[in-house]
Chain A
Amino acid sequence: MKETKKYWKGLEQLKNSAEFQEQANKEFPEYLPINDGEDPSRRDFLKLMGFGIAAVSLAACETPVKKAIPYVKKPESVDPTLPNYYASTYVSGSDYCSVLVKTREGRPIKLEGNKLSTISGGGTTPQVEASVLSLYDQERLQDPTIDGNKASWEEIDAAISKELATANGKVTLVSNSIASPSTQASINSLVEKYGATHVSYDQVSFSGMLNAYETAFGSRMMPHHDFSKAKTIVSFGADFLGTWPNRTANNKQFASTRKLSKSKQDMSRLYSFESNLSLTGSNADYRTPIKPSQEGLYVANLYNAVASKLGAATVNVAKIEDDAVLMKAAGDLVKSKGASIVASGSNDANVQLMVIAINGLLGVYGTAIDATKAVNLRKGDDAAFASFVKGLNAGTVSGVIFYNCNPVYDHAQGAEIATGLEKAQFAISTSDRTDETSSLAKYVAPDHHFLESWNDFEPVTGFYSLSQPAIRNIFNTRQAQQSFLTWSGDNTSYYDFVRANWNTNVFAKANTVEYFNFDSFWDKCLHDGVFEAPTDAASSEYAVELPKVASAIAKAYSANNTGLELALYVNNSVGEGMQANNPWLQEMPDPITKATWDNYLTVSPKQAAEWGIELGDMSTQMVTFTANGKTADIPVLPQPGQAYNTVGLAVGYGRTNAGKVADGVGINAYQFASLANGAVSMTATSGVSAEPNGKPYQIAQTQTHQTYMGRETVIQETLLSEYKKDNQAGRHFPKIATADGPKKPYAVSLWKGHEYPNHHWGMMIDLNSCTGCGSCTIACQTENNIPVVGKAEVLNRREMHWLRIDRYYSSDSTKEDGYKAMEVAAENPEVTFQPMMCQQCNNAPCETVCPVAATTHSSEGLNQMTYNRCIGTRYCANNCPYKVRRFNWFKYHDNKQFDKNLSMNNDLGKMVLNPDVTVRARGVMEKCTFCVQRIQAGKLEAKREGVRPGDEVTSACASSCPSEALVFGDMKNPNSKISQMLKIKQNEKSVTAEEDRAYHVLEELRVMPNVWYLTKVRNKDLESKTEKAEA
């Protein structure tokens, strides 16, 4: 009998329904809800957990985790891989900036400008960007010290309290300008308790200006300038774009007057009279090199010119012979009366009084200059400081407290302070390191870094901001204000102190309707970082005794001093030298000279030639330089635009006790500053000499070719009058010859092009509002973990900056004179700054030549670099017409040879690295990525919110730009700022900008970059060009 017995697996099989048949062949007939369903079941949870444990243990077998510290209790709001932002305030010496601190897993890694602050304007400076690395400087003091030996806070507090009590009445507290009301209050309590005196100074003194305003307006202050309200600006050595306090705002305001569009066809005009070519001077429409000894006369002559035009009384001073530009400036000032600013960088109160008189005549007070709002960032008093130094040397000061200042290094009387300190019984310093001053102090009570501190600021009267710690103090340091409170016997914490201070003083100014109580007010201020109180109406009452001022000027200045003169200056990289141990700043090219890791005498090329010195390929010679009775060997850098018979020298270098990065770099220029009439003078008009001594020297510059060789495909510029006639003025339209006649380069192609289905990222750079400050360079370095390579490698021309600012001087020669002549910059050149980074070409020459496809095009218009795939043939860099690719010639991380690259060579320094960006290995190519990590983060955030990413997605450079010259965005999004500004038109596979000023650098190559430049427009009159030609 045939076997017919059948076994069923279940009733379903017996029924054999359609549903059963459908699922019969599936391994898991039931729906598996893993990671998909709304409500995961317990079983799924166990499965996933099981898998997770297995995977984690397997992964752990392969890669041992070193030094990872897990959160035992995860802090609220700290999520691994997600950044947090805290509003805070940057402070260094007398400098200030309202910032947002980006922290990752509790580590501050980047500072961004606080866009809510109208005072700092949302931009940053290179020093602000770089300061986050100073937080992780291993050479900061790690404990308080007594006589150089480690001590505990209890020991040092006891010792100091005893010392202070003994020296009662003979204690001086020295600081830089203090813009913090609570800090001032804590100092006051110390001052009151011990009958101490408090003197402050600024590295570059504004004492003259402050005193002048005291004389004229009755209050000692620097008034708030609003450059956005100025149509004509005349600067006498006032580097308001490069070194003035609060320069982020100055840049923003100035740039806003330089932007042009269909609706705004006019711009401001800037005149500059100065000795050294400063950042401000290089942005001037008319620049006249003058000697320091002439400055007062120029100001007085301008006064006379303005006064005679306005029918006011003139003063009696020698007349300037060649005064065409001065007269023109006077004419413009009067024309834009009420919207004109005259500013001077002089520390001579008489010159400043004359400037006040001009501004007063022009009716500027109450409009562009607000004399009721003081800029509290400069309060130093030279006279008070000089008497302190005198007292110190006379032995009448028994104790000195140096609050975060280093006058032995950065004050003209540094040497006298050093010797005077020997006579004092004790000195206390709150410095963060054993610097030139604190090394002479008995007690060092190191202060927190500002990113570890609570604090408040009032940078401008009525404008407040807060500082909050973004990380617990790394070392055993204590906030200096806390120390002051402790020493004065007050046990409140500084945090409570600040809060109490705000409760009584600031909250009163707030609109109480808006805030429920003080706590809500405090929370809001802490969140925003800033609070702006309504201020009083501006006053314009002033009094200047002109004849007295004029006679003082006539005595002090002369039109024809024949000797060599010195003008010290602050450069925009190392600045005043507080952060000299920061390698990012040391390697940042000076915006003007493009030199790194050095200071040098800037000398007019004519004079250098007379001295027999020529700048070779970064090779030059030293001179034996004497000024203020001090002599040193200093290298010479021929600098176009330098007034003949003057030399410039940057302060901030020549540190001896700052750390391994700064020590021995350059020479200390503060020693050449001198006291003149009770004010510190950064210039010397006599006793200056320079003797060429033939010693060879190399200055590491990142750019050695100064002119753009008349290449209109690189720089396109025009004059305002031409622009007004035709918005396309200055544009260059290359044509390609084809069989069908000349065609636009973009009409000719072998390539099919790429498709951009969703986004197409682009950047717009306005050459007209870029002031060349260099914040973007350091912002990029911070954001993208860019290594520092050191002077020797910069000399080898291997700096790694992804974003550089090309600085071009004009040349008097044209093609007819030959290429050699075009290489020579004009004696007093026009300057153009051109930020240059990867142009993210849509038809990129680098992409086709890589043998291993390590650099490819993304569907969002980015030219991507895959470091892991790169084998380092450098073919891409060779074929890059913009020369923006950077190669890892050596291993820059964990390598003793590059130990100055602090962010990659010690465990502490590495904390600053951005975890979203790979640290590149030796032998691979790298370049600007358009901050792809920020784009990805922005896209993820937008996706989570279910919206299209908008203008909040921006690159580090664009975000840092104080003048908003860099605009980043999605060109596929018609509402984005970039699409609007460039008037982007979408084609199938490309985008075109209909903005008349927009151009691509090297358009003729048809590489189709995603970076657009707007032409540079100078507000110069046409005839001046012909005049120059005649001359």
Chain B
Amino acid sequence: MIAESAIREPLVTGGKTVHDVTEDISGRVEEKPAKSWLLAMAISLALLAVGGYAVGRLVWDGIGMWGLNKTVGWAWDITNFVWWVGIGHAGTLISAILLLFRQRWRMSINRAAEAMTIFAVICAAMFPVLHMGRPWLGFYWALPLPNTFGSLWVNFNSPLLWDVFAISTYFSVSLVFWYIGLIPDFATIRDRATNKISAAVYGTLSFGWDGAAKTWSRYETVALVLAGLATPLVLSVHTIVSFDFATSVIPGWHTTIFPPYFVAGAIFSGFAMVLTLLIITRRVYKLEDYITIQHIELMNIVIIITGSIVGIAYITEFFIAWYSGVEAEQYAFINRATGPYWWAYASMMTCNVISPQLFWSKKIRTNIAATFVISIIVNIGMWFERFVIIVTSLHRDYIPSSWAMFYPKWADVGVYLFTFGLFFTLFFAFAKFFPVINMAEVKSIIKATGEKKKA
């Protein structure tokens, strides 16, 4: 057991006992769905249905349903892809890197963060498939599978192929990591089950967990091994996503700064999304004692840091464009800031660089309402960042005759909504049927910090 200084603020407040933890968390799974939950789920499913229509039309009629054109070949599709992948960064960072660094405050947020990661990656993975002209072939032709086309192989030079590997690896590792963590909690719910169905379902899900010391030992070892595996992935996924742009020849894309800048941006947006979701969950499920102001503050600090990194990266890009002496490069950046898409650039700068700086004030970063608003602003900003990179670079590149504008059509919006519907449907299902906080781990921190109860 970890020795904890008596003067350190407790990670779980309210003097929760081990039993309280089980009651608080399992109770949510066991009780009847609340009206608010039903309403939220209904809205999500409605979004999913509306978005599903857009997806259907897109696949049935063609990519022309989107607003893309001969000059701008990617816009909302890849913007959304990168945005969702970025959001999916926080979960693994919280569970893996913070685990390795023994940041125990992560214990009450890692479950939800990981779930968010997985759902976000699922949403992200929609776009590489949907943006293809022929997804019915592309979804498996992009994989290095043995085939009868004269053994036609994929092109290992292509960053898109690297994406396929990066995203699929990341998704599998995150999923396994998340699921392993869920097993002891599933077992708890199974043991408390009062009806046969949940006993059977959670019994199956818990893989016959017996709570023996040896099982716990294996569990911890696997967690550590997976954390070790997942840590480089946190850096690699967005690095590789950034290669889609960095290895190209398009001014505004062809930039060596992209990998660190993208990773920082991903963590930035991921933490913001975790905050958005947790602030709601905490309120609805009355988990204020588990997800405390301290958690929120710590995450806000991560946001200040990554937001500042991103801000510096923006400025560095401008400097390098000037310093390189490359005309097209210089134009690309001037055009970003002052061209027809200046408003997107201005939104990005305001949301990503200016708004997180407010968190230097302790008052703001410990204010839940302010955090909630800023966390949404940050994600709007990060969406614009990808939009700015993709669209404003493409729309005016080398040959002025081909310069063009991109205007979204209803299907662009529709498919984006589809991923929102998908994400929230999955998240609400998770929040209802899965324990949203890792009970087993949290119990390990209340022993040290829950002394107050006796006093």
Contact A850 B155 (CB under 8 A): yes
**Do the beta carbons of A851 and B155 come within 8 Å of each other?**
yes
Interface size on B, residues (CB 8 A): 56
Determine whether B102 belongs to the interface, using a CB cutoff of 8 Å to chain A.
Answer: no
A887 sits at the interface (CB 8 A): yes
The answer on a CB contact under 8 Å between B248 and A849 is yes
A796-B69, A874-B73 known; A714-B400 Cβ under 8 A? yes
- With A798-B69, A923-B62 given, is the CB distance from A703 to B401 under 8 Å? yes
Which residues of chain B come closer than 8 Å to A707, judged between CB atoms?
A: 400
Whole-angstrom distance between the alpha carbons of A229 and B68 in the complex? 50
**A732-749, CB under 8 A of B: which get 1 and which 0?**
000001000000000000
Q: B245-275 toward A: CB 8 Å interface, digit per residue (1/0)?
A: 0011110000000000000000000000000
A925 adjacent to B155 (CB under 8 Å): no
**Is B14's beta carbon under 8 Å from chain A?**
no
Is A542 among interface residues, defined by CB-CB distance under 8 A?
no
- Are B401 and A873 in touch, CB under 8 angstroms? no
With A871-B132, A889-B68 known as contacts, the answer to whether A878 contacts B250 (CB < 8 A) is yes
Cβ-based interface call for B159 (8 A): yes
Stretch at the interface among A48-56, A623-631, A799-807: A799-807
Asked if A515 lies at the interface with its beta carbon under 8 angstroms from chain B, I say no
At the interface, yes or no: B5 with Cβ under 8 Å from chain A?
no
| Docked complex: A873-892 residues within 8 A CB-CB of B | 873-875, 877-879, 881-883, 885-891
Q: Which of A834, A878, A882, A923 contacts B73 (CB 8 A)?
A: A878
A807 to B402 alpha-carbon distance, docked (Å) = 11
Which residues on the B side are within 8 Å of A808 (C-beta)?
400-401
| A552, CB-defined interface residue at 8 Å | no
Report the bound CA distance from A83 to B402 in whole Å.
Answer: 36
Residues of chain A within 8 A of B137, CB atoms compared: 871
A806–B401 Cα gap in the complex (Å)?
Answer: 6
Residue A869, interface by CB 8 Å = yes
Given contacts A714-B400, A872-B134, contact A849 B74 (CB under 8 A): no
Q: Check A819–B399 contact: CB distance below 8 A.
A: no
Which residues in window 771-807 of A have CB below 8 A to B? 793, 796-799, 804, 806-807
User: Quick one: closest B residue to A714, CB to CB?
Assistant: B399
Q: Is the Cβ of B248 less than 8 Å from the Cβ of A853?
A: no
Is the C-beta of A705 less than 8 angstroms from some C-beta in chain B?
yes
A882 CA / B137 CA spacing, docked (Å): 28
* Secondary structure type dominating chain A contacts: loop
Specify which of B69, B138, B401 is in contact with A872 (CB 8 Å cutoff).
Answer: B138
Question: In the complex, what residues of A have CB within 8 A of residue B331's CB?
Answer: 709, 819
In the complex, the chain A residue whose C-beta lies closest to that of B249 is: A845
Asked whether A879 lies within 8 Å of B133 as measured between CB atoms, the reply is no
B302 close to chain A: CB less than 8 A = no
Contact with B70, one of A704, A848, A870, A887 (Cβ below 8 angstroms): A887
Interface string of B90-125 (1 = CB under 8 A from A): 000000000000000000000000000000000000
Q: Is A708 an interface residue (CB 8 A)?
A: yes
Q: A824 at interface (Cβ–Cβ under 8 A)?
A: no
CB atoms of A873 and B249 under 8 A apart: no
Query: When A and B form their complex, what is the total count of cross-chain residue pairs whose Cβ atoms lie within 8 Å?
Result: 179
Report how far A707 CA is from B399 CA in the complex, Å.
10
The residues in A between 288 and 307 inclusive whose CB is less than 8 angstroms from any CB of B are none
Contacts A798-B69, A851-B164, A1007-B249 given: A807-B401 contact, CB under 8 Å?
yes
Instruction: Note all chain A residues with C-beta closer than 8 A to B401.
Output: 703, 705, 708, 804, 806-808, 834, 836
Q: Across the interface, do B133 and A852 meet the contact criterion of CB distance under 8 Å?
A: no
List residues of chain A with CB within 8 A of the CB of B250: 878-879, 881
Query: Does any Cβ of B come within 8 Å of A924's Cβ?
Result: yes
CB of A361 closer than 8 Å to a CB of B: no
Residues on A with C-beta less than 8 A from B327 are: 711, 713
Q: Verify A923–B400 contact, CB threshold 8 A.
A: no
B335 within 8 A of A: yes
- In the complex the two chains form, is A878's CB within 8 Å of B62's CB? no
Against A, the Cβ 8 Å flags (1 = close, 0 = not) of B399-437 are 111111100000000000000000000000000000000
Q: Does A328 contact B (CB under 8 A)?
A: no
Q: What's the Cα separation between A820 and B342 when bound, in Å?
A: 13
Contact with A along B131-146 (1 / 0, CB 8 A): 1111101100110000
Chain A residues whose C-beta falls within 8 Å of the C-beta of B132 in the assembled complex: 871-873, 923
Kindly state the separation between the CA atoms of A885 and B135 in the bound complex, as whole angstroms: 20
Given A871-B133, A871-B134, A883-B71: 4 more A-B contacts, CB < 8 Å:
A797-B70, A848-B158, A873-B128, A925-B133
Q: Can you list 22 A-B contacts with CB-CB less than 8 angstroms, sorted by A residue number?
A: A711-B400, A714-B398, A714-B400, A848-B157, A851-B164, A852-B152, A852-B154, A853-B152, A853-B153, A870-B133, A871-B134, A874-B73, A875-B244, A877-B70, A879-B250, A889-B63, A889-B68, A890-B62, A922-B134, A923-B63, A923-B133, A1005-B249
